Structure 1
């Protein structure tokens, strides 16, 4: 008597995860999710092209590593898609003038929006953390600030990816990118 193939009894069937969907998605859909996380076409393409990822941690490690290869133009593109972190609504009315003035000084000095990963900062402490960050980083020289902004972008991207692919992340998401284009469109100059 021959027996047909059997499945191991102790092997439960696994439900698809957000990572499974990301790995199986068409390149343009995967790239759109990635563009929401960092706003860089080159970064999105690199992560998309290296799919599939065995687990979220591997994807996050690859995404983090890829941000170190961003050119100055890629970093400028990523920063252009950012906005100030979301703060509690009543925060803006209470300290709108201070926040607006600090951000205007930062943007005038460095030419891009201020980025910071607030992580586990409580909503009541968010404004103080943003203002403190802007004021302390205004003393940076432009190259030092470019490195600091890139590190904050890495942290934001990792948090956004973790949130999308496993439901939680260390950094709150910012608003969707302004003027995002398809991650599969040719890069400028290519």
Structure 2
């Protein structure tokens, strides 16, 4: 099947376990990250801080902006800057971030029907909007994640492209915030959610 010139090549994973679904949500966060991690971020060389931020949201402008405004006095100030920079993403910045979102693996205990349903829904979404589906799963239990993703793709397929761009930008903002919190907690989990 030949795609139009504006759509990227479709990246449907083989049914062997890779699928465009989010990593399972992390455990609920109840305590702030240790201060030394924020201090290390504030004092890291700019290129190192920039790389760390790109692991949270793959927009060079967003990462540069957060890097340039260091030091942050506390986590709340950093998260406020994270949100503000994400709200200011241009359509090109958003396209850059969406194009770089990786495709995580489907949880090992998922059954074949989940692969089929999510593959079909993801293919329809990507064909319509020209980018991967992103959704933040913060606060959901692992048992709810796959159903939430499938429901989200199906409901968002009814959106027009501009409406979906706004929703995708908000989901990326939420993902960036969670990934940044995870990185500062030392969880090493900046897993992407699709």
TM-score normalised per structure 2: 0.76
Q: Which runs of 5+ in 1 are unaligned?
A: 1-14, 177-190
Residues 61 and 92 of structure 1, relative CA distance in 2, 3 Å threshold: farther
Deviations 1:116-160 (A, max 9, x none): 001121112111000000000000000000000000000000000
Q: Which runs of 5+ in 2 are unaligned?
A: 1-33
CA shift for structure 1 position 173: 3.6
Root-mean-square deviation (CA, aligned residues, Å) is: 2.0
Q: Distance in 2 between matches of 1:129 and 1:83?
A: 19
Deviations 1:165-186 (A, max 9, x none): 1357xxx74349xxxxxxxxxx
Structure number with bigger Rg? 1
Counterparts of residues 102-181 of structure 1 (less than 5 Å): 102-167=121-186, 173-175=190-192
Local SS of the residue matching 1:114: coil
For CA contacts below 8 A with separation 6 or more, give which structure has more relative contact order: 2
Runs (4+) off by over 3 Å: 83-87
Count of residue correspondences:
159
Contact 2:66 2:81 in 1 (8 A): yes
Residues 114 and 159 of structure 1, relative CA distance in 2, 3 Å threshold: same
